Structures are given as structure tokens and as C-alpha cells.
Amino acid sequence: MNIDPLTIGMLVVLAILIFFMFRNSRKRRADQEKLRDQIVPGAEIMTNFGLFGTLKSIDEVSNVAEVETSPGNVVRVHRQTIAKVVEPVTVGEGEPRSVEEAMAIANREAEERERAAAESTKVEEAPAYGERISTEAKKPVRRTTKKVSE
């Protein structure tokens, strides 16, 4: 029985695919376990369809989770639609909290840079095209060529 290199190559590729399928399956299962441990009443969550809220309760038997989206508004969703637990973002000192605040800071810094550049250079107005730089008039230089006569 002759085993050609093409068959060996195909078997190797098949073995690699099976290895990655099992690895991905284990990784996904570990992520689900981690999420299941984090999902407790009172946690800030996000669903698969982008709904944010606070988890009020979970019913394991009927697979229903109650999410409070705003004070007094409770939404019932399937437990498996909970995509992740949202951790609060901490804003450090001097960091903008919104896009408008970031733009205001950027504009203020740009004005300060322009002001500092203008003060450091203090250059007189640049001459227009064709305008002489010095104030004294220069006489044009004429070059004459003498023809040599024979």
C-alpha cells in the first residue's frame, strides 16, 4: 500500500482543524463559566441586543432574568441573552467625560499653542509676492557684453 504525500497532508490538516475545534470549544465553555459566576443580582449587565441595565433576579428553572433598565422599569428577558457584565469605567483626573468636553479641551490647547507660537516668533508681516524686503531701493545691475570685432 502506497501512501502518497497528498493524503498525509490532508490528514495533517484535518488533525489541526479538529484540534482547534476542541480548543475553541473549551475556551468558549470557560468563558461561559466565568460569565455565569459574574451574573448575580445587582450586577450591571448588557444583553445581546444592546440593552443595558441592572440585574434584579434570575429564575434558573424558567431561564428568565429580570433587568431594571431605569428606576421602575423592569424587563424580562431570556437568561441566555445576557452577553456580559459591564464594569464601571473610572475617569481619572483631567480626562474628559464626554465628546463635547474633549473637544473643548482640544480647542483650548490649540489656542494656547497658537498664542505661544505667535509670541515666540514675533515676526513682522511676510512680504507679498514680488515685494522687496529691504526699505532702501536697490539699483538694478546691468550687465553688458562687449562684442569682439575682428
User: Is the residue at 7 inside a domain?
Assistant: yes
The larger pLDDT score, comparing residue 54 to residue 131, is at 54
With beta carbons less than 8 A apart as the criterion, state whether 107 and 96 touch. Answer: no
Sign of CA dihedral 27, 33, 37, 40: positive
Whether residues 107 and 77 share a domain: the answer is no
User: Is the residue at 81 inside a domain?
Assistant: yes
Whether residues 27 and 59 share a domain: the answer is no
Its domain, for residue 109, covers 92-121
User: Is the residue at 129 inside a domain?
Assistant: no
pLDDT for the residue numbered 143 = 65
Least confidently predicted of 1-10, 51-60, 67-76, 93-102: 93-102
**Distances, alpha carbon 82 to alpha carbons 9, 18, 42, 64, 140, in Å:** 42, 29, 14, 10, 85
Whether residues 44 and 84 share a domain: the answer is yes
The larger pLDDT score, comparing residue 14 to residue 2, is at 14
The domain that contains 64 carries what CATH number?
2.30.30.140
Whether residues 84 and 103 share a domain: the answer is no
Nearest to 35 by CA among 80, 78, 76, 65: 80
Whose grid coordinates read 505667535? 118
With beta carbons less than 8 A apart as the criterion, state whether 63 and 80 touch. Answer: yes
Whether residues 56 and 72 share a domain: the answer is yes
User: Residues 87-96: what's their mean pLDDT?
Assistant: 69
Q: Report the domain count for the chain.
A: 3
User: Is the residue at 144 inside a domain?
Assistant: no
What CA–CA distance (Å, rounded) separates 123 from 44? 58
Whether the predicted model's global pTM rises above the 0.85 cut? no
CA dihedral 32, 35, 40, 43 (to 10 degrees): -150
Whether residues 82 and 98 share a domain: the answer is no
Cα 90–Cα 92–Cα 97 angle in degrees, nearest 5: 75
